[in-house]
Structure 1
């Protein structure tokens, strides 16, 4: 480590390591296979670059993007470090030159793309090369359960065997416990050292802004740019990128555009323009990210929800790499969930579609068993309405399992397809169907989690840290939820009944898909008119006065009902679906509250309802110490998620939490005087709540 510190100062200009860089470097220098999960901006690259300088032989670094490789190699060479790269952008003479320098020991680090492992010729060319270490950057791409899975990364484990099993290190910024386990298994690492640096980014502030109309998104983007000036706006689709860019051009706001549909030269130019500070704003899809090493990014805005918490946190983490305060915001419209559902469908074709794609290819091959149709034409020619992404993914599965080969067509920007087993019937295609089903289930769960995060009423950073499996968690005190002075509380019997009536009114005017899925058909105003028993001519002409929920809240008054519907939206029980006319729909959480399956903390409208009985109930149910009450609710949410998202009331109902907050019992015996706390919960669940109460009392 003394040599390591000397090299640190000599090549990188640092007096000492940042925690836990020193422990990671020591592990690698002790020849231990090492997996590192460290936040963006934490200094992952140095953890393998520096040991590479002190070890005999060359270190191969697997990197997913050519632009990222070039940036890293240029930076290393500028420090006087012998580094090179091998990728598809180079001709064979240039690649051969790099291979020769590797064999002679002239290079210490060589960056390679994971696609190189497809070719046996590349692996053979490494024979006789002293390889000190294989370092894998963006290692979450290895796991099929990760948010950015890339099939070529899965070949690395097999490639390790073919090059003699050198020391292996893997690095990523975002990996849940199950993804970490999958990385270790795929690489076949025995007893690796695993470092999980804290995921918390104390300089980042997280906000989720619920948006009703797309025009409100445009207005919010203008405010973010005006306030923070330098940032990235992430969009889910190319179409959204172009729409946002068009709006910024109208206002003469300088920016660059980046998405996968652009020529490589334009993408590289846009990235360089942004990274070098020539443009303050980038509007991009998630393809714009790896290798964005600009320290002064003051905001990251997600124009639409990403497909997972991992993607959100990794992309948001590109802000504030200089350690200064930065703002991360997601513009949340529940309707945007459909975009991610489309992507999930495209990434997870079922076995029948994969076989159908094989059957189609087999029917169109020439005498050499080759077909020359691009994916869009294959999709269009197949019967039925098929997701083009799903066809592309199906071809990938068939290639991975040895049924077809995909090759570049000379002179054309497309790939040809070759059948490898002539005469094989499509029904004989044998794939791990259980894995396909499980991946689809996990992708659905990731999307569900990002929606849950958006609706959560607890600290944003704490919620994210829990998701990644961190144990020591404190509220950040800066996010939109921490800053909010919420009056949300448990509801009385009468209040809950009124809320359920309002939710029933929304459900009755929607089309039911399943128990928890309702397709909206009417706007907020029309639904409110119906539950109030309006005599509006259009409402009567549509026959809505015949519904069972017509007039169900007629005694509550239009002002109260309007406020109640706004509160329902704030609580995530209903959402506006944008379109030609915004429609009001019931969320899954709203459906569960309507059925009485879960309790909800709800900010009851302050406007008086008819009768004093409701006001009396409200006063009786309010906890005296609302601050402690909120802490107990957050603890219950953590326990609930640890137990597989069981209903909150199965831990403790709201009324029990309210009494715990009011009475502040000092021990188990005192707490058991509260109705709803029995011997079993007193032993297993109660102690954690008493610890929170005790910390408040001290």
Structure 2
């Protein structure tokens, strides 16, 4: 129960922000959220990754009396956040299965005695009678429900154990709750409110825009080479994540990247748990590691200086795409996201939806989500405008920071090529794959074509004016737009859909996009278009352009940070973020007062690390 003898707040939120985190002011809606929660209000917060969601409950945790209970879905996320908070001098701990029994008892005692500011716990543990009894004996300041989209069956990371969290409101009705997520469409938001009983909560809906991310989508063409070129040209020293659809592909890509001299590691559910944990720890604590992974990797990763995310295969929805690409550039510095996308991916994604055992209403939603994803891939509009529009946000003008802005896509009346493609599918019996159909259209008398008499069809040779790649683009778009579908019997052939006859008979027209030509071999010297972009080639050694002298200082500061982190067994970014190191490079402070004024240099870090970093700065200036 509240103690009337205590002042309402321990400290003003703005003072906590400055003293502990070293930031002079809140960003965006942070101030309004913090004020609302500190005053005891419930909140549902939707804020993009990297916009400072954690501060929205960490600041109230230090302002309000008592301990804040943070419900977090993954052990790695708990550990990283607690490491970072302890570096700031905050009394934080976690309870999970990695702790010894005595450690668990000591943390429970500290919670009960008011010696903790934040306690992180998994949802499974929170709803146990033992933990609920602990809460009854403790003074609770706030419940923070992180990754709240996990409560929704419409969300892409549904976790059944989150459904039990409504017990918090039932058992502790006067303790405020804040639910946070980086991505949730209207349906998922409604589910969060209903399942967590947050009907009276104030909704804080921030812009979904991540202005520091550059979005690129490239038609697959020698995808391994495209990946390698992308990393070597602009991200040779950077940490990044490469997502693949299957475990086998993860292993193959990671092995191949290592053969090319890159520090690459695999991560998927099929690996031994110790191997997975070791690879994840190395990615977090080392510099320049590339993690090749399935979507099993990422939700619990708090690493702010991931400079690129590559999808070797498209995800199943724009929510998943947004969440996964959001792991790049969490520190606000420039980062790139690339998706490689081809005909086979479109067919596979549509098959996965149609062949799923989901109930009819869920399958209908899956189709809608897939249509939105394919529309994003095939759009000729600004990528950022298209993506934000999906989340209900109007972006007024093209962003200038995506591939379709850098290299506007040309479209043409594709009705006649589309009719030829559909006719080839129909006349060959709706049983053959795209390779055979293209051979027929281009008039190639292969053994397979002549054996089946397809060289005698009217469509044989009617498409000689287009190259194999151009026909692949046509077929990909016809599947994406729903005129063609994969054979439901699973024989690999294409069949006409109910939409096809109107286009085939000329009752409907279609505009198609031309994929930008990939200058694969010549691109190394003059263009980045070989992997989906434009602009000069420049091996990047820092997130932004630096002079030679500043680049040397940047590397010296990173080396010092890595040494300090290794001594303590913590990730380098919990010492200082890249963004703070970049401020040191820009400002070159010469004394502790000037260093302490930089964003991200709080009182505790200044005391602990100030002299080390000042020595390096003075040596280089």
Give me the TM-score of the superposition, normalised by structure 1: 0.65
Task: Note the residue ranges of structure 2 that are not aligned, 5 or more in a row.
Answer: 1-8, 516-621
| CA offset digits 1:21-50 (Å, max 9, x no partner) | 111111111211111111111111111001
Match of 2:452 in 1: 542
Match of 2:331 in 1: 322
Does the alignment pair 1:61 with 2:67?
A: no
Match of 1:478 in 2: 401
In 1: Cα distance, 2:210 partner to 2:196 partner: 29
Change (3 A) 1:603 1:59: closer
**Superposed counterparts of 1:273-312, under 5 Å:** 273-312=282-321
Post-superposition offset of 1:536: 6.3
In 1: Cα distance, 2:278 partner to 2:330 partner: 22
Post-superposition offset of 1:462: 1.1
SS at match of 1:127: helix
**Superposed counterparts of 1:259-274, under 5 Å:** 259-274=268-283
Does the alignment pair 1:568 with 2:478?
A: no
Match of 2:419 in 1: 500
Does the alignment pair 1:527 with 2:527?
A: no
In 1: Cα distance, 2:128 partner to 2:199 partner: 26
In 2: Cα distance, 1:130 partner to 1:224 partner: 52
Match of 2:135 in 1: 126
* Alignment equivalent of 2:205, drawn from 196, 200, 209: 196
Does the alignment pair 1:105 with 2:131?
A: no
Could you tell me whether the CA contact under 8 Å between 2:485 and 2:497 is conserved in 1? no
Could you tell me whether the CA contact under 8 Å between 2:434 and 2:475 is conserved in 1? no
Post-superposition offset of 1:65: 0.7
* Alignment equivalent of 1:174, drawn from 183, 190, 211: 183
Could you tell me whether the CA contact under 8 Å between 1:141 and 1:150 is conserved in 2? yes
In 1: Cα distance, 2:194 partner to 2:301 partner: 29
Could you tell me whether the CA contact under 8 Å between 1:233 and 1:303 is conserved in 2? yes
Change (3 A) 1:508 1:479: farther
Give me the CA root mean square deviation.
3.2
**Superposed counterparts of 1:530-609, under 5 Å:** 538-545=448-455, 550-552=457-459, 558-560=464-466, 565=471, 568-569=474-475, 571=477, 585=494, 591=500, 593-594=503-504, 599-602=509-512
Match of 2:225 in 1: 219
The 10-residue stretch of structure 1 (118-127 or 100-109) with the greater mean CA deviation from structure 2: 118-127
Does the alignment pair 1:238 with 2:247?
A: yes
Match of 2:518 in 1: none
Could you tell me whether the CA contact under 8 Å between 2:67 and 2:114 is conserved in 1? yes
Could you tell me whether the CA contact under 8 Å between 1:524 and 1:584 is conserved in 2? no
Could you tell me whether the CA contact under 8 Å between 2:440 and 2:459 is conserved in 1? no
Post-superposition offset of 1:472: 3.9
Post-superposition offset of 1:322: 3.1
| CA offset digits 1:660-682 (Å, max 9, x no partner) | xxxxxxxxxxxxxxxxxxxxxxx
Could you tell me whether the CA contact under 8 Å between 1:224 and 1:299 is conserved in 2? no
Give me the TM-score of the superposition, normalised by structure 2: 0.72
* Alignment equivalent of 1:186, drawn from 173, 178, 195: 195
Change (3 A) 1:334 1:88: farther
In 2: Cα distance, 1:340 partner to 1:565 partner: 20
The 10-residue stretch of structure 1 (466-475 or 53-62) with the greater mean CA deviation from structure 2: 466-475
In 1: Cα distance, 2:73 partner to 2:351 partner: 25
SS at match of 2:281: helix
Task: Note the residue ranges of structure 1 that are not aligned, 5 or more in a row.
Answer: 351-435, 513-518, 606-698
Could you tell me whether the CA contact under 8 Å between 2:75 and 2:300 is conserved in 1? no
The 10-residue stretch of structure 1 (146-155 or 161-170) with the greater mean CA deviation from structure 2: 161-170
In 2: Cα distance, 1:603 partner to 1:448 partner: 17
Change (3 A) 1:565 1:589: farther
Greater relative contact order structure (CA < 8 Å, 6+ sep): 2
In 1: Cα distance, 2:62 partner to 2:429 partner: 64
SS at match of 2:192: helix
Change (3 A) 1:220 1:67: same
Post-superposition offset of 1:467: 0.8
Change (3 A) 1:593 1:131: farther
**Superposed counterparts of 1:607-646, under 5 Å:** none
In 1: Cα distance, 2:469 partner to 2:131 partner: 66
Could you tell me whether the CA contact under 8 Å between 1:576 and 1:585 is conserved in 2? yes
**Superposed counterparts of 1:106-505, under 5 Å:** 106-164=115-173, 166-211=175-220, 216-227=222-233, 228-229=235-236, 230=238, 231-336=240-345, 349=357, 436-489=359-412, 491=413, 496-497=415-416, 499-505=418-424
Structure whose alpha-carbon radius of gyration is higher: 1
Aligned residues: 495
